[in-house]
Amino acid sequence: MFDPQRIMDVKWAFSAKKQADYATLVPDDSITLAVPVIGTEIFELSRVQYTDEMRYGKGHEFATTQRELTRDSKYARTMDLSSLAAGWVCAFGMGKVVTTQPNPGGNPTAYKHVFTFFDPATAGKQVPVTTIVEKVSSAANFLRRLESMAISDFTISGKNREVCQVAVNLMGSGKVTTGADASFPASLSAVSLLDMGVMTFKLGTQGAPTDLSVRLLDFTLKVTQNLDAANGYAPGSGIYRDRMWVGNREVALDATVWMDSANSDMLDHWNSNDILEIQLNLDGDLILAGQPEKHSCDIILPAAKMTANQIGVSGDKLIYKISVAKGDVYKGAGGTPDEPLQITVQNTIAAWLGT
């Protein structure tokens, strides 16, 4: 009897670990993390193939032969922002992490992870890749290990008094392994959601930005790796990619804030073309009752300028629409830290990007 598969029954799982190399999968027993997703995206496989359809001399316009040349794989996830989701996208979307324990005696399961962009000149051009498992149904061939998945870009956003979200696009080698996974997590991972109600937004002079939290309506931060997907295929690699190099990284920020009738601060910054420091700080639940450490995600652009500062209208009130484009995010302009972007995540994951 035919039994259709429900989209609500689909599951997926991911790992804090990276693959030891581009061809070696993360072991099943290390793919133990799972969170709900927003939307119904399913893993996408495609191929490029040769065909003689447009070759002449056959006596007709139809194909007589085909040959597969390459396979491609893409995956998209949108999740409620938690300290777990933030750590995962930053680890694989930025590539460098320094981890410490802020309170090892009183709160030994709290870990602070400082994410920045890795340096291709010293660490090589290969981005960290991981293995994802998607379980479309209980049939063995529908449990698919998505190999060598790299984050192309991720976007963290929030508005009003809602839980923030993170959207991520991934690209893989095109290779998929099917079969049973005895280690597939039986339940979702415990998470602490991050919402706009416990957010601090600061913008202003480097080293001493002004708290504008009460004026913030929404924000969107996009981080892009510009993966060199085309050069992932090489002579001898067959139909699958055998590498994924980083491209020119980009950071962009958009925010909407209320205009202060007694303060022309945004206009003054725009007219002066000031280099600004921008901070977005999101706190979640306490990691351990009685201890100060919280689940959190702290974003800092130490040196940035505003490309646009348009005055607009929201209802019957005036607003500023602030845009920081990729060419406005600086390194070496006196910011602390001297990075274009730093994202600090605190959660209970002991390590990211291990093997």
Query: Does residue 137 register a pLDDT over 90?
Result: no
Mean model confidence pLDDT for the chain: 96
Is 162 part of a structural domain of the chain? yes
Query: Does residue 180 register a pLDDT over 90?
Result: no
Which residues span the domain enclosing 135?
A: 7-45+69-347
254: β partners: 220, 323
* pLDDT tens figures, 320-352: 999 999 999 999 988 899 999 999 999 999 999
- pLDDT score at 99: 98
Mean predicted confidence (pLDDT) in 189-197: 97
Query: Does residue 318 register a pLDDT over 90?
Result: yes
Is 177 part of a structural domain of the chain? yes
Q: Are 299 and 156 in contact (CB under 8 A)?
A: yes
Is 170 part of a structural domain of the chain? yes
10: β partners: none
Q: Global pTM?
A: 0.96
Task: Please enumerate in sequence order all residues whose Cβ is within 8 A of that of 25, keeping only pairs 6 or more positions apart, or say none.
Answer: 19, 131, 145, 147, 177
**pLDDT bracket for residue 294 (50, 70, 90):** very high
Mean predicted confidence (pLDDT) in 300-313: 94
* pLDDT tens figures, 42-51: 999 999 999 9
Largest CA distance in the chain: 82
Is 256 part of a structural domain of the chain? yes
**pLDDT bracket for residue 140 (50, 70, 90):** confident
Mean predicted confidence (pLDDT) in 69-80: 97
Preceding amide of 337 cis, omega within 30: yes
Query: Does residue 1 register a pLDDT over 90?
Result: no
Q: Which amino acid is at 14?
A: F
Q: What is the DSSP string of 154-205?
A: EEEEEETTSB-EEEEEEEE-S-EEES--TTS-SSPPP--B-BGGGEEEEEEE
13: β partners: 133
Query: Does residue 182 register a pLDDT over 90?
Result: no
**pLDDT bracket for residue 147 (50, 70, 90):** very high
Is 62 part of a structural domain of the chain? no
Query: Does residue 181 register a pLDDT over 90?
Result: no
- pLDDT score at 289: 97
Q: Are 13 and 37 in contact (CB under 8 A)?
A: no
- pLDDT score at 74: 97
The structural domain count of the chain equals: 1
Mean predicted confidence (pLDDT) in 242-266: 95
Taking 3-state DSSP, the helix, strand and coil percentages for the chain, each rounded to the nearest 5, stand at 15, 45, 45
CA distance 300 to 206: 11
Phi and psi angles of residue 134, each rounded to the nearest 5 degrees, phi first: -120, 125
Which runs of E-coded beta strand occur in the chain? 11-13, 44-51, 66-80, 95-100, 111-117, 130-135, 143-159, 165-172, 176-178, 199-205, 210-211, 216-224, 250-258, 276-286, 294-304, 308-314, 317-324, 342-347
- pLDDT score at 334: 87
Pick from 354, 350, 355: nearest CA to 112: 350
Is 63 part of a structural domain of the chain? no
CA distance 104 to 121: 34
Query: Does residue 86 register a pLDDT over 90?
Result: yes
Mean predicted confidence (pLDDT) in 215-226: 98
Mean predicted confidence (pLDDT) in 268-294: 97
- pLDDT score at 3: 85
- pLDDT score at 325: 96
Q: Are 346 and 93 in contact (CB under 8 A)?
A: no
Task: Tell me how far CA of residue 54 lies from CA of 71, 258, 345, 347, in angstroms.
Answer: 22, 59, 54, 56
DSSP 8-state symbol, 289? T
Mean predicted confidence (pLDDT) in 173-183: 92
Task: Tell me how far CA of residue 106 lies from CA of 84, 187, 194, 287, 298, in angstroms.
Answer: 21, 28, 24, 11, 22
SS3 of residue 27 by DSSP = coil
Mean predicted confidence (pLDDT) in 194-199: 95
Q: Are 143 and 184 in contact (CB under 8 A)?
A: yes
- pLDDT score at 244: 98
Backbone Cα Rg of the chain: 23
Task: Tell me how far CA of residue 229 lies from CA of 20, 71, 74, 149, in angstroms.
Answer: 20, 12, 11, 12
- pLDDT score at 254: 98
C-alpha triplet 109, 115, 117: angle, nearest 5°: 160
Is 57 part of a structural domain of the chain? no
Is 257 part of a structural domain of the chain? yes
Among residues of the chain, what percentage have pLDDT more than 70?
Answer: 100
